[in-house]
Amino acid sequence: MTPPFAGLLPDALLIDLPEIDAQHDQIFGRIEALKAACYGSGPAPLEDFQGLLDYLQFHFATEERMAREAGVDFLDHDRVHQENLQSLHKAFGEVRAGARDVHSFLRYAEYWFERHITEEDKPFADSIRACRLKSPINPSPAARR
Ligand SMILES: [Fe+2]
């Protein structure tokens, strides 16, 4: 299911795959909500950090499904996803252990996420579009209507 738009995804980071753009927007929304919560007076909501990591895993699975449907080779992209998740889980583990503060984690997550879109997902979106154009078996969602 496509989540509602948080309205935080800058135009420069749109990749023109609506399902993925909506998820990217949702991820920015979750990061912003965590930043706001961490500047509040209560304890940092660690379960919400885990929720962000779980949502990222769901997001990566969506990209993998789209690649499979379009016939795009996803091995390298999947390897990068696994490395990304490992790094983020490691950083979150440091937060839970008290070795890293939540603000440091969020700065890292936000920087990583923008880089994920520009360096990994923009070329990924180009590959999806190229495969959809080549293969009439896998038309774009717009072409199926
Ligand atoms: Fe992505």
- Taking only the tens place, the pLDDT of each residue in 71-99 is 998 888 899 999 999 999 999 999 999 99
Q: For residues 32-37, give the mean pLDDT.
A: 92
Show the domain range for 58. 19-37+44-136
CB 27 within 8 A of CB 7: no
Taking the centre of ligand 1 as the mean of its atom positions, its distance from the CA of residue 81, in whole angstroms, is 9
CATH of the domain at 103: 1.20.120.50
Closest CA to 109 of 99, 128, 95, 130: 95
pLDDT at 80: 93
Taking the centre of ligand 1 as the mean of its atom positions, its distance from the CA of residue 116, in whole angstroms, is 6
- Rounded to an integer, what distance in angstroms lies between the CA atom of residue 96 and that of residue 118? 29
Rg of the chain on CA atoms, in Å: 16
How many angstroms does the Cα of residue 125 sit away from the middle of ligand 1? 10
User: How many domains are there within the chain?
Assistant: 1
Whether the predicted pLDDT of 134 surpasses 50: yes
Closest CA to 33 of 55, 12, 18: 55
Torsion angle, alpha carbons of 37, 41, 43, 49, to 10: 10
Q: Is residue 11 part of a domain?
A: no
Q: In this predicted structure, what is the pLDDT of residue 40?
A: 78
Residue 121 maps to a domain: yes
